[in-house]
Amino acid sequence: MRPTVLTGDHFFTGDVACAEGAIAAGCRFFGGYPITPATEVAEHMSARLPEVGGTFIQMEDEIGAIASVIGASCAGVKSMTATSGPGFSLMMENIGLAICIEAPCVIANVQRAGPSTGLPTLGAQSDMMQARWGSHGHYEIIALAPASPQEIFYQTVTAFNLSETYRLPVLIMTDEMIGHLSERVTIPDAKKIKTIFRKRPKGRKDRFKPYRPDPDGIAPMPIAGDGYNIHMTGLTHDERGYPVMTADAQYEMMERLISKVRKNLDDIIRTESYRLDDAEIVIVSYGVSSRTCLAAVDEAREQGIKAGLLKLITVWPFPEDRIRNLAEKVKGFVTVEINLGQIHLEVERCAGGKAPAFLVGHPGGTIISPERVIRTLKEAF
């Protein structure tokens, strides 16, 4: 029997590091369906979960995969799945269900170029707006964007912790390049890995209301079979979980769902800065694209261009205040992403005309070179 946490240094792909991060976070259920370039996450989980007392199930399709993950979560098990573009699209309706019934779970999207079948073996960052608004209705979501196998290990742990804390699905928006990239991944001792499990209810079971929030805005979550009366529905519901078809009930439910994210932005949003203190031009990037931007910043500095990098770790919620504050101080922004301008639109919106914003992007298939970023810096500024 192998240990739960494989401590020490390893040479892992990003997909394998994602699986190991999930196990280290306490994930004990994976419901999946194979799809390039995310299949290796499922393959590794299929071997590792039985070793740690967990369960792996290959479902009939991606719709069944996310449904099984939600069911396992409601049974009290930390659960996840992994997919890519077409599968992510199929999961959207049930991701909305998980948001509505407040079922914590983690979904990794190893992005590839689309639309439709697109380029199954080549990467992109073109599902970023789908991550924010892919399901119908209005809601808040948390999405992380790792830039290395080491980061995807830690961000998968973070994704589970955020999911369990705020009772909602959390997305890991990685890509084919990171998923298939092999690098050293250092896994610390299990005692040094912080893990969080959802709040459990206390008090009389006959008076329990499954959607009555505590003062922090988060409702304790019972485990099915504990003896609490639980009613879960995708319909607008009250604190008992019973459907209530009124505008007032919709407002009350949505206020709770949205506020638990919006009132905790300081705890949720994470960014990293590189040579940003005296920067006159801010490069905004995330995931694999942020790696090449590091070289672009250094080369630009050598050429006398005061560039700096704002790397998004949390893409959703978007760090609006950070962009607004920078817009007051800098000459402009350059967004670098492997799409035709999705996060760029957010940068432009938050800059609010106080600083111009330019895009370096393309539809997918290759990374964006530092040389192309520098060329845009020179042309734009």
pLDDT tens digits for 340-363? 999 999 999 999 999 999 999 999
Contact yes or no for 286/145 (Cβ under 8 A) = yes
**What is residue 209's predicted lDDT score, i.e. its pLDDT?**
94
List the one residue out of 127, 50, 53 whose CA is nearest residue 83: 127
CA pseudo-torsion sign 312, 193, 161, 171: positive
Residues 6+ apart with CB under 8 A from 62: 33, 35, 81, 83, 86, 87, 88, 90, 91
Which of 26-30, 171-175, 200-204, 310-314 is predicted least confidently? Answer: 200-204
Per DSSP, the residues of 121-168 read: EEE--TTHHHHHH-SSS----EEE---SHHHHHHHHHHHHHHHHHHTS
The token pair at 132 is 């924010």
Look at residue 379 and give its three-state secondary structure: helix
- Between the alpha carbon of residue 83 and those of residues 24, 68, 80, 96, 142, the distances in Å are 20, 14, 10, 17, 17
Average pLDDT of the chain?
Answer: 97
pLDDT tens digits for 52-62? 999 999 999 99
Model confidence band, residue 224 (pLDDT cutoffs 50, 70, 90):
confident
Q: What is the mean pLDDT of residues 20-42?
A: 98
pLDDT tens digits for 128-148? 999 999 999 999 999 999 999
Q: Which amino acid, 273? A: S
List the one residue out of 339, 333, 330, 328 whose CA is nearest residue 356: 333
**What is residue 225's predicted lDDT score, i.e. its pLDDT?**
85
Q: Which domains does the chain have, with CATH numbers?
A: 8-192 (3.40.50.970), 270-380 (3.40.50.920)
pLDDT tens digits for 102-114? 999 999 999 999 9
Q: Is the pLDDT of residue 3 over 80?
A: no
* Cα distance between residue 217 and residue 242, in whole Å: 19
pTM of this structure: 0.97
**What is residue 207's predicted lDDT score, i.e. its pLDDT?**
87
**What is residue 4's predicted lDDT score, i.e. its pLDDT?**
86
> HSE of 267 in the Cβ direction (CA atoms, 13 Å)?
13
Percent of the chain with pLDDT over 90: 95
Q: Report strand pairing: 314-316 vs 142-144.
A: antiparallel
**What is residue 132's predicted lDDT score, i.e. its pLDDT?**
98
pLDDT tens digits for 264-299? 999 999 999 999 999 999 999 999 999 999 999 999
Model confidence band, residue 29 (pLDDT cutoffs 50, 70, 90):
very high
Contact yes or no for 265/271 (Cβ under 8 A) = no
List the one residue out of 78, 127, 126, 144 whose CA is nearest residue 105: 78
The structure tokens 């699905």 sit at 169
pLDDT tens digits for 321-339? 999 999 999 999 999 999 9
pLDDT tens digits for 180-223? 999 999 999 999 999 999 999 988 898 899 999 999 999 999 99
Q: Which amino acid, 204? A: R
Contact yes or no for 159/129 (Cβ under 8 A) = no
**What is residue 1's predicted lDDT score, i.e. its pLDDT?**
57
The token pair at 25 is 């976070």
Three state DSSP letters for 297-332: HHHHHHCCCCEEEEEECEEECCCHHHHHHHHCCCCE
**What is residue 226's predicted lDDT score, i.e. its pLDDT?**
87
CA pseudo-torsion sign 349, 137, 80, 232: positive
* Cα distance between residue 296 and residue 2, in whole Å: 42
